[in-house]
Structure 1
Amino acid sequence: MSHGTTPATDTADAPPDGAADAADPAARTAARGRVVMLVDNGVKADSRVQKAARSAARAGWDVILFGVSPTAKIQTFRLGGAQVRLVPKPAHLEPRRHELRHPLLRRPLAYRSQQLARYRVQSVKAWRSDLAFRRAAARAARAGHPGHHAGGSALRLLLPRLLARALNSWVRLRTRQTAALQKTRAPLTAPVDRAATALWSFLLGERAWRRLTPNLWDYELAFAAHIDAFEPDLIHAHDVRMLGVGARAAVRGRAGGRAVRLVWDAHEYVPGLPAPHGRWLPGHIAWEKEHAAFADAVITVSPPLARMLQRGHGLRELPSVVLNAPVMEPAADEVAEAPPVPDLRKLCGIGPGVPLLVYAGGISPVRGVDTVVAALPALPGVHLALVSVTPRKMKAVNGARRAAATAGVADRVHFLPYVPHWQVPGFLAAADAAVSPLQHLANHELALSNRFFEYAQAGLPLLVSDVRTMARTVRSTGQGEVFRAGDTEDFVRAAKAVLADPGRYRAAYERPGLLDGWTWEAQARVLDQLYTRLLPDRPGPPHIR
């Protein structure tokens, strides 16, 4: 939920030297080992990655975190003792192969690309505009105005005008064909596309990503030199794309005589992800399958996903679980410039006696927020705070605003901005209950989200949909009520039960040790123990030396 507050620095021509601006030599000598973390985003909106980098550095590891720069320049900043370097990642292999071929067989009249179609349309417009200018100049000249040489008689311009009109019709026909071709090509689900995908998967197996999703090479080509320059002892690869980048870097280091260890941090179940096109999933699954074999250890976000990963990749040991739990003891530099925790009820404009539900996170159909908004007419006087406002997602927020207006509850739905991740439990605690209305998707079934743990640390009764892992947990702890995903009437039932007796559900958090295990501090110990096991000859963490 945090979007980070650490400023970044652009570096125009910085060399790919991951170690160049790390800690000073004396500090690096005392460090327990060099750790490279890899993530395929800009870091600032990824609280799990931020927490992992900070806690590893605090435990004495020399950490550099590589992410993707949003600009064409390298950006650097620090997260506590960890250095962050955002690297530009060109997308030269992003165009799919068929987009580079002539469309003769599918749409013989289509242009080779949308870019060429746009160029042709604009060039014809320019020609017709110029002919219109020349006719106007001729009329103006006949009226005695200057510029006779730029014009032309109506007869002289007749043939060019007829040709331009004909060419305009031809270009527009081809442009429509190009748009139709793009619509057919984009999903990669036409029979010929499915046949090609199946053929490459059969012929190449786990190497099929080279044909199906060659753009994965772009990550390797962007990061390889930076990782190698740092000469890591351990590589921590966050999620599937960086698994391959980390595995290849580890193999290069091992071939060079260094015993580089690789940790794969699997945030999600790849086969359960929504796919932008028909080759995305088979390509990424093949990439994951090929590179998982190089990992010395695997960590993930829940026990069910750990078991699936072990079975799916034939792992020798069950992956360790590092939950997406919140930080309860933020570092001094994190809180130094942060504003005080906002007053949730004040931002909503309501007093302490008004029933208030809260939802934190992104708004999209699969998040199920529409179920909660649609239930409000049946919950008189109940307000809903949606902590979801971010400049990058205003389209979704505006859609929720319209839904609230349509339901006649716009005055009871409040849209609030994010706060830093360490402030979330304190910020949300003023509500009466928290909602997690996720729809049934594979990854929703498998894990407890960071929102779940933030709600719990806020001491809030929960209203959760019946996605498997979260529903099972809530039923076992008694911290809330479960409703059928997408079922407005069942949500109303659950909400009325919770709001009628919130103390009953809050009491669940008094169980000894429950909340203590749901903190990032507890998860950081699991992570450090794993690093220590992989590098047993290194000194212990600073606090026990």
Structure 2
Amino acid sequence: MELDTAVAASRARGRLVMLVDNGVNGDSRVQKAARSAADAGWDVVLLGRSPHGAPETWRLGGAEVRLLPMPDPLARRRHEFRRAWLRWPLAYPPSGIAPHRAQAVKAWRADLAVRAARLALADPATPRLGLRRRALRAEELAAKVTQKWVSFRYWQLTRARTRRKFRNPWDRAYTLFWQLAKGDGAWRRLEPGLWDYELAYGPVVDELRPDLIHANDFRMLGVAARAKIRAAVEGREIKVVWDAHEFLPGLKPWRDNARWLPAHRAHEREYAPYADAVMTVSGDLAELLRREHGLAELPDVVLNAPAAHHEELVPDAPAPDLRALCGIGPDVPLLVYSGAAARQRGLDIMVDALPQLPGVHVALVVNKPTGPYVSGVLARAAKLGVADRVHALPYVAHWQVVPFLSGADAGVIPIHHWPNHEIALITKFFEYSHARLPLVVSDVKTMAETVRSTGQGEVFRAEDVADYVRAVRVVLADPARYRAAYDRPGLLANWTWEAQAEVLDGVYSRLLPDRPRAVAGTPAEPGAPQPPVGAAR
């Protein structure tokens, strides 16, 4: 009976489709929003992108998660399909023949090695044995020369692919031409890969016939807006909530080209007017969005705060022991960084400082603990002779993050000065706070001001190793002083997801005021698949 009542309530409120451009697993904000919306009585379907190219589905509480296959041929540039005859004349064509040839030569040499071993074991009286050995040595020489030739041509192909930059005068002129010719529609020429998202998500959104779409970040804004337009032609109304996690003009383009940022900004400007409500992660970012897009109202702020109470998705799955994974005891000083790993996140400074911090260990809880950047950080640690004090660990489930991090002595946020780093309290800030960790943070504006006002940690000059060492020593000398800041009444209570979920549902209710609020949403179905483990910062 309770299940029937909850289902009826969710149908009465309406269907909410959430869109995100990742695999959901690893995006704690999106996971919490989906669960909270379902708990508030909405019929929630969360659509994400399958990282493996195969459809997947599971449940987050009462919310259904679907990961969609998304081929992305439009994300490839036309030059990637052509040979660079003038610059790299000996390169293989970009047809896939290069790895085939490289593997074929390896197979040839492997076969020669086995044949050589057979001849070495052969009876000396074997007819023409000497001739066969000389022929084999000649073939081995030919295989070696061929492998060098194949490697050289493969190297030329790699250079042709990686050395092409989109910051030369031609590409700047190309970008300017389409901006002048198409205005905000220029993204269709400059970043056609955005259509890959539409072609994967759009038909599914239309089939679901939502009453409300929650579009996370700039790529999904276009998908939501176009679904809204198509529905209007059919006489249906869809309300769109745009959840801007970052300020697009302040992003560091992930591609080294002049087209990426102008294209995505144009795409965002074209579809921002279709949002019926905008929400974001900080007050400063809300002001920037209002100015950037001429919004009539200031966006609502939903902080990336952790949940104070968790309905565990996997029964009897306590958080792993951080210190046990690092192989250290309770008295060893331990600094933790939790979040995405990239150069602008400043992880290098934590390693560079270790020679001046004897006995201190560092735990890097990152999205890609074996990725190129972290591998470089670990190589740097080995060069400095501190590799045994640096531990790269994978993410844990988002409901385990706070107890997991609490095993450290201090939480570190060493991010560099980038526009988006200046304007918000990021997820790890709140997670460290709920773990009651003393903080060591770089002097990015909003975070530094908050830490100085609360007294929960020390601030250092970004990318300044000496000042970072100073801050760490001060914190480790008297951690109880900084932990006491969390005893301030109301401080942590305001930094909880439960408080943010009220804001979230308030936005939905404002857009669809005729839908009655429900006490609880649809519970997870018994035996339903649960999400894979992982949480992002």
- TM-score, normalised via structure 1 length: 0.81
Give the 5 Å matches for 1:143-292: 181-185=160-164, 187-275=165-253, 276-278=255-257, 279-292=259-272
Counterpart Cα distance in 2 of 1:183 and 1:398: 21
Distance apart, 1:211 and its partner CA: 0.4
Task: Give the aligned CA root-mean-square deviation in angstroms.
Answer: 3.4
1:301 and 2:281 matched: yes
2:420 to 443, 450, 469: 443
Structure 1, 222-231 or 106-115: larger mean CA deviation:
106-115
- Find 1:528's aligned residue among 505, 509, 513: 505
Q: Give 2:380's aligned residue.
A: 403
Residues 1:69 and 2:46 aligned together: no
Shift of 1:514: 1.1
- Identical residues among aligned pairs (%): 56
CA distance in 2, matches of 1:299, 1:41: 19
- Residue 331 of structure 1 corresponds to 311
1:465 is aligned to: 442
Q: Deviations over 1:463-484 (max 9, x none)?
A: 0011122111111211111001
Equivalents in 2 of 1:462, 1:169: separation in Å? Answer: 53
Determine the structure 1 residue equivalent to 2:25. 44
Preserved contact between residue 213 and residue 284 of structure 1 (Cα < 8 Å): yes
Task: Check if 1:352 corresponds to 2:330.
Answer: yes
Q: What is the rounded CA distance, in whole Å, between the counterparts of 1:408 and 1:173 in structure 2?
A: 36
Q: Deviations along 1:438-475, whole A, 9 cap, x unmatched?
A: 11222222221111100000111100011122111111
Which of 447, 451, 456 pairs up with 1:474? 451
- Match of 2:489? 512
Note the C-alpha offset of 1:436. 0.8
Q: Return the TM-score normalized by structure 2.
A: 0.82
Kept in 2: contact 1:93–1:218 (CA 8 A): yes
Deviates more, 1:406-415 or 1:57-66: 406-415
| Pairs aligned (count) | 488
The Cα offsets for residues 154-187 of structure 1, whole Å up to 9 and x where unpaired, read as xxxxxxxxxxxxx9999999888766554453x2
- Deviations for 1:25-76, whole angstroms, at most 9, x for unmatched residues? 9537644111000011111111111111111001100000111123343211
**Which amino acid is 1:215 matched to?**
G
**Residues 1:115 and 2:115 are matched in the alignment:** no
Q: How far off is 1:359 after superposition?
A: 1.7
C-alpha contact (below 8 Å) 1:114/1:179 kept by paired residues: no
Q: How does 1:378-389 map to 2 (within 5 A)?
A: 378-388=356-366
| 1:416-438 Cα distance to aligned partner (Å, 9 max, x none) | 34322122221222322111111
Gaps of 5+ in 1: 1-22, 133-142, 146-166
**How has the CA–CA distance of structure 1 residues 277 and 406 changed in structure 2, closer, same or farther, with 3 Å as cutoff?**
closer
Q: Equivalent residue for 1:35?
A: 16
- After the TM superposition, which residues 359-378 of structure 1 pair with which residues of structure 2 at under 5 Å, given as runs? 359-378=337-356
> Partners of 1:27 and 1:474 in 2: how far apart?
46
Q: 1:123 to 1:236 in 2, by over 3 A?
A: closer
Question: Is 1:65–1:83's contact at 8 Å kept on the other side of the alignment?
Answer: yes
CA distance in 2, matches of 1:179, 1:409: 34
Counterparts in 2 of 1:63 and 1:303: CA distance versus 1, 3 Å: same
d(CA) in 2 for partners of 1:478, 1:99: 53
**Could you say if the C-alpha distance between residues 176 and 296 of structure 1 is closer, same or farther in structure 2, counting changes exceeding 3 Å?**
same
User: What CA distance in whole angstroms lies between the structure 1 residues aligned with 2:104 and 2:387?
Assistant: 49
RCO higher in structure (CA 8 A, sep ≥6): 2
Matched, 1:322 2:299: no
Cα distance per residue 1:478-529 (max 9 Å; x no partner): 1111001111100111111112222222222122211011111111111000
Query: How far apart are the structure 1 equivalents of 2:365 and 2:148?
Result: 51
Instruction: Give the partner amino acid of 1:346.
Output: A
Distance 1:362 1:498, change over 3 A: same
Encode CA deviations 1:74-122: one digit per residue, 9 max, x unaligned. 2111111001111111112122234456767x65957795227739978
Q: How many angstroms apart in 1 are the aligned matches of 2:158 and 2:314?
A: 51
CA distance in 2: counterparts of 1:380 and 1:92, whole angstroms: 51
Cα distance between partner residues in 2 of 1:473 and 1:183: 42
Moved more, 529-538 or 419-428: 419-428
Q: Which amino acid aligns with 2:434?
A: Q
Residue aligned with 2:75, SS: coil
The one-character-per-residue Cα deviations of 1:380-426 (angstroms, maximum 9, x if unpaired) are: 232222223x6674444433332222222233333334322122221
Alignment deviations for residues 205-233 of structure 1 (CA, whole Å, 9 cap, x no partner): 11000100111111111111110111101
Return closer, same or farther for 1:119/1:412 CA change in 2, 3 Å cut-off: closer
